[in-house]
A and B are shown apart, each in its own frame.
Chain A
């Protein structure tokens, strides 16, 4: 249905060709995404799910939640902060009534309802499985020794253990937390979240009243002096 001028058409064709290969860093993006999802990192904004627009542009949307900058910080520190945030890790779902919301932007766009009509047809240039995207299936077998580029499934397994330990810790099930962390250390001695594990181990041991807790905390602070976990380790173990 294109009625574009030759100039515009040339631009469109060149742009499509440029983007046809898809993202080159999608593997990294998936790794980060799967890690953040597993760690419960909140979405950068709350989607007004039930706010069904009547028209494009007729409905203003408000950015609920943290700013992009804040979300970047949250993502960067996601694993740890999500695990340690008090209370629910994710904001509650939006209310069921579609309350119109006012955006600061003059140009706003409504979010369509997530249900109904016909499936959009596939676009011309499209790759379903771009290179660099690791297989999303979590391997069921025990993980291999840590490699320089870990599989996302391995990372997910790590994060599940870390979350489990964190849940035990929150419920003051300290011995259970310690055992889970030991399992992580045994299976992923140099894993992607080894830093977070060591912090949790220090805190758990300190809360258990074990003398090695303070030693572990000092070792952790020596190894990761600028870690975002460092303040909590200092507070919980060294009374600083």
Chain B
């Protein structure tokens, strides 16, 4: 398993993940670079491609954490919120982008663990048992975190809608 192979097979996954973890699309390529720079250093010790994606995701989490600590988080949130309230989501590319920005903003309101579980299961299609094993969680705990993440997101959506209505009205 070479870096090139891993990059080619998983760079799209990492690219999606870093954005879902709160890194703006304009900085996503840099974040992908940072993730694979870590991968390049440790790949030789990685004997199997099993669990590779969850390992990559964990590195992406670290990159995103570092980013959030050092970047203007409030600014990004404000931008995402403004985009969300200014547009009406239908089906065009721009509208999908706005929806993506909104979802990423909503994800940023979740706790780290709930967000990770939600991204891997709901957005990336991993199974709950896979996530449980990768992160050494009990299966009921994974389901619990997923359920809590959904509830948090629903509440966040309602808050955003109420805020948008106030701003419009």
Contact = CB atoms under 8 A, between A and B. Distances in A.
Contacts of A2: 122
Contact of B65 (A5, A14, A55, A63): A63
B9 interface: yes
Contacts, number: 245
Contact of A105 (B5, B69, B89, B127): B69
A123 B124 contact: yes
16 contacts: A4-B122, A5-B154, A8-B150, A11-B103, A23-B15, A23-B32, A56-B112, A56-B117, A68-B67, A68-B71, A114-B47, A117-B130, A120-B54, A126-B13, A136-B2, A136-B8
A12 B121 CA distance: 12
B38 A45 contact: yes
Given A47-B42, A114-B46, A26 B15 contact: yes
Nearest to A61: B62
A8 B40 contact: no
Contacts of A127: 12
B157 interface: yes
The binding surface of chain A is classed by DSSP as: loop
Interface residues of A, number: 78
B35 to A, nearest CB: 9
Contacts of B66: 44-45, 63, 67-68
Given A44-B63, A68-B70, A109-B58, A14 B100 contact: yes
